[in-house]
Chain A
Amino acid sequence: MNGRRLMPWALAGLAALASLVVAFGATAAPMKNERISLVTDVGRLNDRSFNQLAYQGLLRAERVLGIRKQVYESRTPADYTPNLTAGARTQSALTIAVGFLLGEDLNRVAKQFPKENFAIIDFPYEALADKPQNVRGLLFKSEQAGCLVGHIAVKQLIREKKRPILSAVGGIKLPSVDAFIAGYRFCARRVSRRAKVLIGYSQSFTDSAKCKEVALGHISRGAGAVFQVAGGCGLGALSAAKQKRKWGIGVDADQGYLGAHMLTSAVKRVDESVYATIQAIQKGTFRGGMNTTFSLANNGVGYGKLSRKVSRALRLEVEALKKAIIRGRVKPPATL
């Protein structure tokens, strides 16, 4: 009896629910399931640095924002154009090129697909030959992160009553590498006029033996802390620091997991930049023909986990310095 009387209601309710789902699905589906393409450079996905961080940002966007990810690994430079083209041709809401190596190819592809959106990490859009209006550059104020770790390193060495000699091991002399080192040197000297910064380049982002060699050279000249700015190669510099019982300072990702010799890391949140750009796409606020700069102010760069040996006073001091940089009272330079 009861069941029969309830039946029409139940049916009606079900129909209402179904129509709601259909309506909701129809409006929400194109919003939610954007396809986002990521094109790596020849460093490929597991480079423990740049490409990997970008991929982590994409994975987070997949988890949290519900986008559909599409990853194109470039094994040779011949893959750049076809990969970018594939991203555009599959109607990705956004195609992200990881790194300056893809600049020339992105320039060409962006011109061929003027209606598609592109972003390129670590490269200002105006440096592309034709300044395409559908490309957004994602830039980092790496010198701010470099400044913080430089300050920490000098203070720590002085507190340990050691000579404040710092080492910086770069990969290839590039503006994105030099920005870290410039900030590092600037703030090291700001702490103490006695501070000396040894700078060397390994000419590689992949061969860790070369970075180790450069770092060992610096250590033999008295360096007490080694800052690597060389991606996978730099892991060699950090292992030299470990071997010689000096401080190591990581780059890009928080490399504190490498061991007790790690003082801290100069963090460049490539993942954050990817995530934020995808978010902008979803909100409809993405615009090409300009750059986004990630800095301390929007948490785009920063410092990683501090070693347990760093005193509480120094921790507070770093936070104060961070605020001073955000307010513009300390301005680390971006070039050497």
Chain B
Amino acid sequence: MSVTPAAQPPPQQEPTTLAARFALYQRAGGVITPLLTTLLALFIAGLVVRFTTGASPLDTGRAILDGSGLTWFIPESVMDIRSVAGTYDDWPSEAEARLNAEINLQQTLIFTTTLILTGLAVAFAFRCGLFNIGGQGQFFVGAIVAVAVGAEVSGVGRVLHVPLVLLCAALAGAVWAGIAGILRATVGAHEVITTIMLNWIAYWIGSYLFSLGGPLQSDRSRQVPISNDVQESAKLHVFWGDFQGLHVGFFIAIAALVAFYLILNRTTLGYGVRAVGYNPEAARYGGISVSRNYFLAMAISGLFAGLAGAVDIMGWQYRYGQIDIQQSDIGFAGIAVALLGRNTSIGIFFSALLFGALLTGSNTRNLALPIEPELAGNMTLIVQGLVVLFVAADLVILYLWRFRKRLGLPRREPKAVGS
């Protein structure tokens, strides 16, 4: 490897609070540790594949890569699509294979879009020293409001309707997370507890609204606990693909990444948020209102998650239902995305892409392994679980690394690592 390890943080005072210490580990190690973490997780997942199913880990990895559609970018590798050849033995046409890769890539990017936004929802709070577990609930609220405004409001025209829905959903998410922020800021109720509680409240409100006879339940199919479809004017433009193609929400997510960076690094608000995140006591001493920043950080986090819900509804799903609420876990996936992405916008982009690719690539639709389908589906979970596990574990590794230094053991020079 020719990449040189990122510079170690300059020697400084040992941080005192848990959040501050955590933030330090998050900054340490640069881009190398997350990369190594991911590779290690995929390697172990390969071993699991090897020992449980007997399939070759390399083939599996290749199949996941093919299935994610990322090979679409590389013409040569599209030419021999092994996984496709495995599944569809009498399906030889190269154009078909390419179309397949295209469809898969669209699905990967659709997941990436949502994961970026739910990842940002966790990361922004993290930068303020808060742990927002409520991304899921804020996502629900955003999706519910998007359905309500998108389906029940009509006759406003696309130019107005789309921004209206996005705005309402984002605000709803912000309010939902803001509740937890206010509680933390005023009475000190821990946000981990309150956001989890708010998740359940959103869950049950949604379940009620879409249940048979509920206020938002569909007029057309009275027998199914789902909402009406959103109006045509509230749908996001699909610019690529005919079968659930990629919608412009992807660019909304990219814009959110840029906004995240700008707010944190180029505004007074972001400065305050980061200052509180590093050390609330010092920030308070410096004249920064800690409670105000707690509230704002949570509200902005919720804004991102609410936007995620809206983009999902307006981009491809168009409706929401009781079962969708019960099965959704994309808000929780945002925690893993933020952890792996080190709470930075560029990191979140790539980790969202990784999780999106894993989600699509390891689908039974794409995994053409000699495994029975019951197993293949669970293998997906194993791969993802390992990635999350190692993402969490790399903090332990970093801790041990620092511990070693403290004991005065010799440190290896960067040169030796590179050779």
Contact = CB atoms under 8 A, between A and B. Distances in A.
B327 A76 contact: yes
Interface in A163-212: 172-175, 203-206
Contacts of B91: 90-91
Interface in A130-184: 172-175
Contacts of A73: 363-364, 373, 376-377
A174 B212 contact: yes
Contacts of B319: 104
A78 B377 contact: no
Interface string B97-134: 00110011001001100000000000000000000000
A203 B203 CA distance: 11
30 contacts: A42-B323, A44-B377, A45-B377, A55-B374, A70-B87, A71-B373, A75-B363, A75-B377, A76-B328, A76-B359, A78-B110, A79-B107, A79-B363, A81-B244, A85-B103, A89-B99, A89-B100, A90-B88, A91-B91, A100-B223, A103-B221, A104-B226, A104-B229, A129-B220, A172-B322, A172-B323, A173-B212, A175-B223, A205-B326, A206-B326
Contacts of B364: 71-73
Interface residues of A, number: 39
B323 A78 contact: no
B211 A85 contact: no
B220 A82 contact: no
B365 A72 contact: yes
A77 B327 contact: yes
Nearest to B218: A104
B254 interface: no
A173 B211 contact: yes
Interface of B: 87-88, 91, 96, 99-100, 103-104, 107, 110-111, 207, 211-212, 220-221, 223-226, 229, 242-244, 316-317, 319, 321-324, 326-328, 330, 359, 363-365, 373-374, 376-377, 380
Nearest to A101: B323
B363 A174 contact: no
Contacts of A314: none
Contacts of B328: 76
A51 to B, nearest CB: 10
Contacts of B211: 172-173, 203
B36 to A, nearest CB: 28
A255 interface: no
A14 to B, nearest CB: 29
B317 A77 contact: yes
B373 A45 contact: yes
